[in-house]
Amino acid sequence: MGMTITEKILARAANREKVRPGEIVYVNVDVAMTQDILGALAFPAFRELGIPIWDKDKIVMIIDHCAPPSTLLQAGYVVENIRFAEDYGIKHFYKMQGVCHQILPEEGFVKPGAVIVGTDSHTTTYGALGAFSTGIGSTEMVWVFAKGNLWLRVPETIRVEIEGNLQPMVMAKDVMLKILSLIGTNGANYKALEFGGQVTRDMSMDGRLTLCNMAVEAGAKNGVIEVDEITRSYLKGRVQGEMEPLKSDPDANYSRLLQVNINDLSPQVACPHSPANVVPIGEVIGQKVDQVLIGTCTGGRLEDFRMAARLIQGKRISRKVRCLIIPASARIYLEMLEEGLLKTFAEAGCVISNPQCGPCAGVQHGLLGDGEVCVSASNRNFMGRMGSTKAKVYLASPATAAAAAIAGMLTDPRDLEGGK
């Protein structure tokens, strides 16, 4: 019996020939990431131990949720992060240069086959590059800082074969929302979600990062995609050394095989208040919108903004809407500047922000009031997450979000000029 990608990575990290789903193993951690808020909860507890970090060069600290801080509490977290990085000599420290889940792949911290843990549930993102990556809590990160390892239950793997041809204006986000509607918010609980099929193979790295980012919305421990030419081309200049081909064995064991044909897939929308409460755009056209968010670790990459700009180019956004444009990293911000995308969004009347998490997790910078409706390219629409419990969040692709900004209501991006 062969092994899946996830089993292979965990076996290597546990110094084992083979591992089987259900086994508990201690794995060595290659990279440990903290974001500012949940890092700030871990740092004082680690200081109290009075020991050195197991390997400070394997730690990447990010300030992205409070970037920059809007309250005294947030300012306190930022100070806690800066002091910790100084006192422990953390050299990989990114202060307000973007969202952790964009910085790590972009700056070359994600290598195929690596084990990466982070104090953020969307750490699943890095599976797009053939790594095993998962979210942990702050206390658990204290253990990792001390020991450099972590116990994990080897997950069963669900293989998702995505076949067909994507229609124009239909994006990786739409594919992932469709998958969530099929397996539900707990359908992959404790499991690995491995994406394959022709659509995955043809998908850009930006799209693959979106798929793996939202694996956790199905409860998955990790999302993962095999290493291929697209992976190698993304890693060129970012990561040194030879890339081993990393894919599941033909006789690997899957707990479930899910076939998804996306030939006729239209833009998808997750209605309030669950990422799995998904309908085709046709069922919600006309829903009025107050705020549009294009950004975050799910929908704030260059491809996302190029797609949005195609629809917004030369137009003004609806007077009824505020449209937040929040690049996921400083590099993306610069690329948008060079390509003229920032000009397109500024001329259209959008609110353009520095790279950060924005209002996605209800921390700051665009919270919703009572009765307001937001169309968001982000990953979660739980009640009250982005502000008022009386607000509603519809999750959609950057294209559908841009279309809503122009129309002032949910609309099919394919019906707009530029969307054909």
Partner 1 sequence: MDLLLRNHVLSKFGDDISTDNIIQENKYGASFKPEDLARICMRDIDPEFPQRMAPGGFIVAGKNFGCGSSREGAPISLKATGVRAIVAEEFARIFYRNALNICLPVIECPGAVAGIDLGDELEIDLASGTIRNNTKGSVLQGIPIPGFLLEMMRAGGLIAFLKQQL
Radius of gyration of the chain (CA): 21
Please give the Cα distance from 322 to 374 (Å, whole number). 9
Closest by Cα among 343, 357, 349 to 300: 357
Between 81 and 231, CB nearer to partner 1: 81
CB of 51 to partner 1, least distance (A): 6
CB of 45 to partner 1, least distance (A): 6
CB of 342 to partner 1, least distance (A): 28
CB of 267 to partner 1, least distance (A): 24
Between 387 and 418, CB nearer to partner 1: 387
Between 143 and 195, CB nearer to partner 1: 143
The residues that touch partner 1, with contacts defined as CB under 8 A, are 24, 37-38, 40-41, 45, 49, 51, 65, 71, 73-74, 119-121, 135-140, 142-143, 146-147, 151, 185-186, 189-190, 219, 221, 274, 361-364, 367, 380, 382-385, 387, 389
Between 124 and 318, CB nearer to partner 1: 124
Taken in order 208, 209, 214, 216, the sign of the CA dihedral is positive
Cβ neighbors of 340 (< 8 A, separation 6 or more) are: none
Q: At 220, list the tokens.
A: 């998955």
CB of 153 to partner 1, least distance (A): 8
Contact status, residue 278 vs residue 177, Cβ threshold 8 Å? yes
Between 185 and 353, CB nearer to partner 1: 185
Between 45 and 243, CB nearer to partner 1: 45
CB of 338 to partner 1, least distance (A): 34
- Annotate 298-329 with b (16+ C-beta within 10 A) or e (fewer): bbbbbbbbbbbbbbbbebebbeebbbbbbbbb
What number of CA atoms fall less than 13 Å from residue 361's CA on the CB side?
A: 16
Beta strand residue intervals within 142-266, DSSP E: 149-153, 157-163, 192-196, 222-225, 256-261
